[in-house]
Amino acid sequence: MKDLLKMLDLSHGDIIKILDTADRLKAEQKAGKPHDFPPGKTLAMIFEKNSTRTRVSFEVGIFQLGGHGIFLSSSDSQLGRGESIADTARTLSRYCDCIMIRTFAHQTVEDLARYSTVPVINGLSDFSHPCQALGDLMTTREHKGGLQGLKACYIGDGNNVANSNIVGWLKCGLNVSVACPKGFEPDARVLSFAAGVTDCTFELTTDPKIASSGADVIYTDVWASMGQEGEAGEREKTFAGYQINDDLMALANPGCIVQHCLPAKKGKEITESVFEAHADEIFDEAENRLHVQKAIMALLMSGSL
């Protein structure tokens, strides 16, 4: 595999290899041991969307691997003046060992990978957020001791984070229940994939109580993602009954963990009390973006994935 563009591209074995590598790199970093990776690699980081966790985790990650990251926003590069993604890909491939992009249209990621001769990593697109989902799986495995047979519940907008986690959960043998308002369901490609899974269950409902019943993992995200700020007021009305609160948590299994990709709008999609009660899990999840992305970079740049 040359690139990591979406969770649908990964097999179960690919996911476990990434998670196992991330666990090892995390243990090495915590112990102060250097990573066994060729030094001097360069990562180009293209940002068309604002970022805290993606930028910092990738920049720190390539540094900890002994390499260097280059930040490129649209205003910093010729992309902002109309250079094509194809020409950008072919140029950066001559300079850098890997390219990460955080953008709007998923087709931009696919086009970048098509023309790049070095690995491309999707740092976020409107369809998929694979790095987030892999960090989430890493966190769940840490807290629950495994993945197979757990029930994962997603409540809220069927967005890129929902798309990626649904696929990741099902490929790792979790039973999945998703609660979204009508008209805000996950992408049809994801629902088609889920319909073909036979070794675990998938449920789509409009009732958060049904989805959260018996859950081992409850996940949510903001109701209005970047680029949807103008819809925020209307979305708040639509999603008013889709808040992670004490009533929903009471329906979950004892020891249920809560995940949020951040930033959170406390008092909207999640109450402050639930967020703070599960803050350790949520910020473990944020930290694990670093370790799982280091694993992705190391495996892709070494041709081992």
Which sequence positions are flagged as catalytic? Answer: 102, 129, 132, 221, 261, 289
Under a CB-based contact definition with an 8 Å cutoff, are residues 179 and 207 in contact? yes
Residue from 178, 280, 158 nearest 221 by CA: 158
* DSSP assignments along the chain, one per residue: ---B--GGG--HHHHHHHHHHHHHHHHHHHHTPPP-S-S--EEEEEESS--SHHHHHHHHHHHHTT-EEEEEETTTSGGGGT--HHHHHHHHHHH-SEEEEE-S-HHHHHHHHHH-SS-EEEEE-SS--HHHHHHHHHHHHHHHS--TT-EEEEES---HHHHHHHHHHHHTT-EEEEE--TT-PPPHHHHHHHHT--SS-EEEES-HHHHHTT-SEEEE--SS-TT-GGGHHHHHHHTTT--B-HHHHTTSPTT-EEEE-S---BTTTB-HHHHHHTHHHHHHHHHHHHHHHHHHHHHHHTT--
Strand partners, 203: 177
The rounded distance, in Å, linking the Cα atoms of 40 and 67 is 5
